[in-house]
Amino acid sequence: MTNLTQLSLSDAVDGLKAKKFSSQEITQAFLSSINASNATLNAYVVVTPDKALDMAKASDAKLAKGQGGKLEGAPLGIKDLFCTKGVRTTACSNILGEFTPTYESTVTQNLWDQGSVMLGKLNMDEFAMGSSNETSRFGPPTNPWRRERSDVKLTAGGSSGGSATAVAADLCLAATASDTGGSIRQPAAFTGIVGIKPTYGRASRYGMVAFASSLDQAGPLAKTVKDAALMLEVMCSGDMKDSTSLHLPVPQWTKSVGASVKGMKIGVPKEYRVDGMPEEIEKLWQQGIAWMKAAGAEIVDVSLPHTKYALPAYYIVAPAEASSNLARYDGIRYGARQSGDGSLTSTYETTRAKGFGAEVQRRLLIGTYVLSAGYYDAYYLRAQKVRTRILQDFEEAFKHCDALLTPATPSAAFGYGEKGDDPVAMYLNDIFTVTANLAGLPALALPAGLDGQGLPLGLQVIGKALDEASCFKVAAAIEDAAGFKARPDKWW
């Protein structure tokens, strides 16, 4: 039998149903791999072997009777942003101390309801603020991919760096992740896997540690387009516990995988051709366009004129909402408390100074500043109006096409420290992904080729609101044409 950990989620689910192997066998295989690899890769920040084996045993009992959910017995990793009952959840921040939720997030509950098995909690940037996973209190994970003839440690991206590392290194079948500005899609591109952020509101935010509430969306990281569709089907639901969740039926997205793209119109936005973008990214993009043409799609040039304002708008909206959301961390009700000089104000101020890392503090100060008296209209309100402009650009473009095809990131995975100390240089990582968050649109990243140094590069498909189906259709056609089978050489 092939190594169980290398199976796709869909194949594993089929294999479990056909009783080719048991959930306990595949769960044990993953636990052994995690045990052997995690010290080097640092993907998991909590491993839950007892819970995993208990869940696997329960799944095996159901499978034996020919019962079970859509993901029965399938071992998954969970980003440390999702509250998991009885399992420490800290969003990789010191301020949450040893916080152990007494309730379950809706997204993870949906996964357990369909029979999945939890292997543990995955590393991430602190409160999902970062593009390299370096802001985690547990230190960053290491990308399983390395440049040819180099042992320089590369980032798996951020903020879902642990999730991406675990999927790419076969330490889970698939993982949950979240995307506020690109935190699913950029790590997917950096590690040669598939990730999708659905339309805002598709997945409930209940029990997800909040960063920027009008932008945050949960989504999966997975090995194939079909796996991502299967995960997303289970993760999404309308939820009375999240008033922004959409009370709409969840489509069977797996049925869109493999559907013909013949006659579809694919838009190519000229504004995504940015200065200083490596030639290899441009080449990959052109290759993607050629694949779509060959599959019978029509290519349409479109314009999204406000693209350049997306990142600056994001760096008002996201910190502003974060400064409000993170006000709850006061050291009184949960998390780690520092007493300072013993007064209430000093307790707050030292708890937050010691508990939050540098990047989080920077964003909280920006957010507090742009929301402070006299500046609200000039910053937050203006940024929200610019968001409307960005959404209008998309709506105009979608009058002429069914989906957009763009690069996923402006570069391949980079080494730790290679971006220097300039926060703005780091922020530019999200230049192609952040627009979909601001406009609330579904967007998927998938691997499409390797660069000259042997690192994976990704393309992005952006769909109309609620049209994840087209994202999956187009992505599956690219996946098929690209035949991307490259895997990192196992050095760890």
Please list the active-site residues: 79, 159, 183
Among 94, 389, 416, 492, binds other proteins (CB under 8 A): 389
Distance in angstroms (rounded) separating the CA atoms of residues 315 and 424: 10
Distance in angstroms (rounded) separating the CA atoms of residues 160 and 191: 11
- Number of residues near other proteins (by CB under 8 A): 77
CB of 78 to other proteins, least distance (A): 19
List the one residue out of 462, 450, 437, 442 whose CA is nearest residue 486. Answer: 450
Which residues within the stretch 347-376 sit at the binding site for other proteins (CB under 8 A)? 347-350, 352-353, 356, 361-362, 364-369, 372, 375
CB of 309 to other proteins, least distance (A): 6
> Phi and psi for 121 in degrees, rounded to 5?
-105, 140
Q: Are 223 and 243 contacting, i.e. CB atoms less than 8 angstroms apart?
A: no
DSSP E strand stretches across 101-173:
117-122
Nearer to other proteins, 147 or 354 (CB): 354
Using CB under 8 A, which of the segments 5-13, 53-61, 96-104, 125-133 binds other proteins?
A: 96-104
CB of 232 to other proteins, least distance (A): 16
Among 240, 452, 489, 491, binds other proteins (CB under 8 A): 240
Among 255, 282, 378, 489, binds other proteins (CB under 8 A): 378
List the one residue out of 263, 250, 320 whose CA is nearest residue 297. Answer: 263
Nearer to other proteins, 137 or 153 (CB): 137
Among 222, 225, 236, 246, binds other proteins (CB under 8 A): 246
Which residues within the stretch 268-327 sit at the binding site for other proteins (CB under 8 A)? 306, 308-309, 312-313, 315-316, 323, 327
Among 441, 450, 474, 475, binds other proteins (CB under 8 A): 441
Among 49, 258, 415, 423, binds other proteins (CB under 8 A): 423
According to the binding rule CB under 8 A, does residue 211 interact with other proteins? Answer: no
Side by side, which strands form the sheet with 44-47? 44-47, 117-122, 75-79, 174-179, 217-222, 194-197, 443-450, 456-463, 403-407, 265-269, 298-302
Q: What is the DSSP string of 10-43?
A: HHHHHHHHTTSS-HHHHHHHHHHHHHHHHHHH--
Which residues within the stretch 181-200 sit at the binding site for other proteins (CB under 8 A)? 199-200
Secondary structure of residue 353 in the 3-state scheme: helix
**Per-residue DSSP letter, 462:** E
CB of 413 to other proteins, least distance (A): 24
CB of 79 to other proteins, least distance (A): 20
What string marks each residue from 111 to 150 as x (binds other proteins by CB under 8 A) or -?
----------------------------------------
Residue with tokens 């013993």: 342
CB of 353 to other proteins, least distance (A): 4
Nearer to other proteins, 86 or 452 (CB): 86
Distance in angstroms (rounded) separating the CA atoms of residues 208 and 161: 17
Nearer to other proteins, 68 or 251 (CB): 251
Among 65, 247, 485, 490, binds other proteins (CB under 8 A): 247
- Count other C-beta atoms under 10 Å from residue 25's C-beta: 16
> Phi and psi for 161 in degrees, rounded to 5?
-65, -35
- Name every residue whose Cβ is closer than 8 Å to that of residue 104 and which is 6 or more positions away in sequence: 83, 84, 85, 112, 207
